Amino acid sequence: MEEGQPPRAKWHGPVVLFVSIVVCGLLAFAWLLPSGATTADPDPTVPPPVVVTPAVPVQKDPPPEPTPPPLPPEGHMPSGGVPGANVVGVDCSAVPCVALTFDDGPSTYRSALLDQLKALNVHVTFFDLGQSVAARPELLARSVAEGHAVGGHSWRHGDMVKAGPQAACEDANRTRNAIKDASGVDSPLVRPPYGAWDDAVLAACTGMTFVLWDVDTMDWATHDGAKVTDHVLNDSRPGSIILMHDTVSEDIAALPGIVAGLKERGYTLVTVPQLWAAPLETGRAVFNGPRATKN
């Protein structure tokens, strides 16, 4: 010990040695840690990595086949009144058919008449006046929509022979256009008022078919449902075209008996175009449909 220095304590040396060892150990530990490493706990806000599994394609079944629409009931005209459509499953050249027809509408009775026909599941042919179609187009449209056939009956029930070929055909075309405007159906069927026609008128009315009748119920004269029914049941034969009137209210009440009586006699009720398996030829006049042998 040099002079002038205070004496050192006995523990001074060991303490210095201990501190030196600790410092050296910490430095060595820090040197061994990887760059950027930390001993702090991981941040709990960091979500764990997401493992994405590739999607397995799913085999889809093919779309189902569309269900075909049900067949319309017997006597229905699928084409909505277009001439030439035949009764589903019925060939009037092989089985006895008759056609009910109604003239002079659409009258104020048409709605009730359509209700009755719908209840009976029967389809008929209407020969309508142009002026009445123009006044009640909704009734003409409903008639077609419910499967009935339609044709013209002149504009104001004028005699076609007296009018002359040109005037008569202009009148028939005017009525035909009114029917088309009201229903979308371009019908070539014409019923000459009073049954009055001749070859000159028929030749002039190109593209038209005149439809007459072979059974006259005389409903317009009697207004008697029982007599009308007797005419229909007694006078009809296979292929008959039966004349009735939209303006006779008694016909509506008589229809259930008429339909039942005809069916009991083996007849199938159809529209005029449905009496033929093919569309009616234009430029001709018909009084009844093809005949069939009654069983």
Query: In the prediction, which pLDDT does 228 show?
Result: 98
Domain count across the chain: 1
Residue 12 lies in a domain: no
- Domain span at 254: 97-286
**Domain assignment of residue 193, yes or no:** yes
Handedness of CA 197, 199, 201, 207 (dihedral sign): positive
> Is 38 part of any domain?
no
209 CB contacts (<8 Å, ≥6 apart)?
83, 188, 189, 190, 280, 281, 282, 283, 284, 285, 286
Tokens of 235: 């006078």
For residue 279, the model assigns a pLDDT of: 80
Would you say 223 and 244 are in contact if contact means Cβ atoms under 8 Å apart?
Answer: no
Catalytic residue annotation: 103, 245
Question: Does residue 77 lie in a domain region?
Answer: no
CA dihedral 181, 185, 188, 194 (to 10 degrees): -70
Contact 268, 87 (CB under 8 A): yes
Write down the pTM of the prediction: 0.71
Residue 183 placed within a domain = yes
The answer to whether residue 21 sits within a structural domain is no
Which pLDDT score is estimated for 220?
Answer: 95
User: Does residue 230 fall inside a structural domain?
Assistant: yes
Assigned domain for 61 exists: no
What is the model's pLDDT at position 124? 98
Q: Taking the chain (295 residues) in consecutive chunks of 10 residues, what is each chunk's mean pLDDT?
A: 50 59 58 49 49 46 40 36 50 93 98 98 98 98 97 97 98 98 97 97 97 97 97 97 97 98 97 88 92 49
Whole-number pLDDT of residue 62? 45
Give 3-state DSSP helix, strand, coil % of the chain, rounded to 5: 40, 10, 50
User: What CATH number does the domain containing 134 carry?
Assistant: 3.20.20.370
